[in-house]
Amino acid sequence: MVDVCLLGTGGMMPLPGRYLTSLLIASQGKMILIDCGEGTQVTLKMCGWGFKAIEAICFTHFHADHIAGLPGMLLTIANSGKTTPLTIIGPIGLETVVNGLRVVAPHLPFEIIFIEVSNDKANSFDIHGFKIDTLPLDHGMICVGYNINIGRQRKFDALRAENANIPKIFWNKLQKGEEIFFEGKLYKPDMVLGESRKGIKISYCTDTRPTENIISFVEEADLFICEGMYGEDEYIVKAVEYKHMLFSEAAFLAKKANVKELWLTHFSPSLLFPEEYLEAIQEIFVNTKIGEDRLIKELKFEI
């Protein structure tokens, strides 16, 4: 089971009742935060999920509406009692930007591990059971999208274990991935585990023009959180100039990528009632939702 919370849905600046775009993903007692604009710690506090379990903060890019909330967030995480390392991920230049912001938060009880991702190719790494992939996007500055994949443990196959004459006292450890050497024989987890099972894929792309690469990147995602800066197609000239996306463009990406569900976010401050465009967008991609601050969804593994 994976819990997802869209902490805020605003772009450029926070508004009364609309915090800046940020996403929180929780699984097995660990959490990942994507983007951290001004006020993110406030809406996270309202969400009630806590701060200590945040293991990584991922940044799409370094515009203020996506990163200016970091110093306060770091201090709040510190006050939560966290002492284990925190990983911060983002485009090239990440460490310089973060250290600049940390002038007002210089002393933390945990180590920060920086991972700077390439802006000209995809990157992939694992953090606390989350497989994180990045993709270069098309914005006015270096920007990346994220896939968060949560794998599912292979099912224990007792019949295989019995046929391999593996002592039952080792079954539990083998199921957990441990190798055991006993009486001259090596027992491996593959000897007791069944076929791989489908995990959960969450995709997050914001501050970009639509690209073909996005389609293959988010393909068959269980949940696709995508920028919808403008609700009306008449804003296409502005969207192209500032490298943002229309609602309809995000919906076509979701349709072509065959995702299960689309959440629109990162609304322009001038877009006060994005829900007014939902019916028209659902004609393109039926399972579309207009993002709301602290919109929560529980994703379950397939049986």
pLDDT of residue 42: 96
Answer yes or no: are the C-beta atoms of 286 and 279 closer than 8 Å.
no
Q: pLDDT tier at 152 (50, 70, 90 boundaries)?
A: confident
Residue entry with tokens 């203020």: 64
Check pLDDT > 90 for residue 194.
no
Dihedral in degrees, nearest 10, Cα atoms 297, 301, 302, 303: -130
Catalogue the long-range contacts made by 10-15 (C-beta closer than 8 Å, 24 or more residues apart).
Answer: 10/37, 10/65, 10/266, 10/267, 10/269, 11/65, 11/206, 11/207, 11/227, 11/229, 11/244, 11/266, 11/267, 11/268, 11/269, 12/65, 12/268, 12/269, 13/65, 13/269, 14/38, 14/39, 15/269
| Helix or strand run (H / E) with residue 109 | none
The DSSP annotation for 31-56 comes to EEEE---TTHHHHHHHHT--STTEEE
Q: Residues 6 or more apart from 199 whose CB is under 8 A from it?
A: 149, 150, 151, 152, 301
SS3 label, residue 80: coil
Of 65, 133, 207, 293, the active-site residue reads 65
| Helix or strand run (H / E) with residue 160 | helix 158-163
Answer yes or no: are the C-beta atoms of 202 and 225 closer than 8 Å.
yes
The DSSP annotation for 229-253 comes to -BSSGGGHHHHHHHT--BHHHHHHH
pLDDT tens, 62-82? 999 999 999 999 999 999 999
Query: What's the one-letter identity of residue 269?
Result: P
Q: How far is the C-alpha of 158 from the C-alpha of 126, rounded, in Å?
A: 29
Query: What's the one-letter identity of residue 97?
Result: V
Q: What share of the chain is helix, strand, coil (3-state, %, to 5)?
A: 30, 30, 40
Check pLDDT > 80 for residue 126.
yes
Q: Any idea which fold 2-152+201-299 has?
A: Metallo-beta-lactamase; Chain A (3.60.15)
Strand partners, 71: none
Check pLDDT > 90 for residue 48.
yes
pLDDT of residue 190: 83
Q: What stretches of 8-153 show up as alpha helix (H) in DSSP? A: 40-47, 64-67, 70-79, 94-101
pLDDT of residue 264: 98
Q: How far is the C-alpha of 81 from the C-alpha of 17, rounded, in Å?
A: 29
pLDDT of residue 94: 97
The strand pair at 197-205 and 144-152 is best described as antiparallel
- Longest CA pairwise span in the chain (Å): 74
Of 45-49, 151-155, 250-254, the least confident:
151-155
Which part of the chain is CATH 3.60.15.10?
Answer: 2-152+201-299
Give percent of the chain with pLDDT exceeding 70.
100
pLDDT of residue 115: 96
Is residue 293 part of the annotated active site? The answer reads no
**Of 199, 111, 114, 121, the residue nearest 154 (C-alpha):** 199
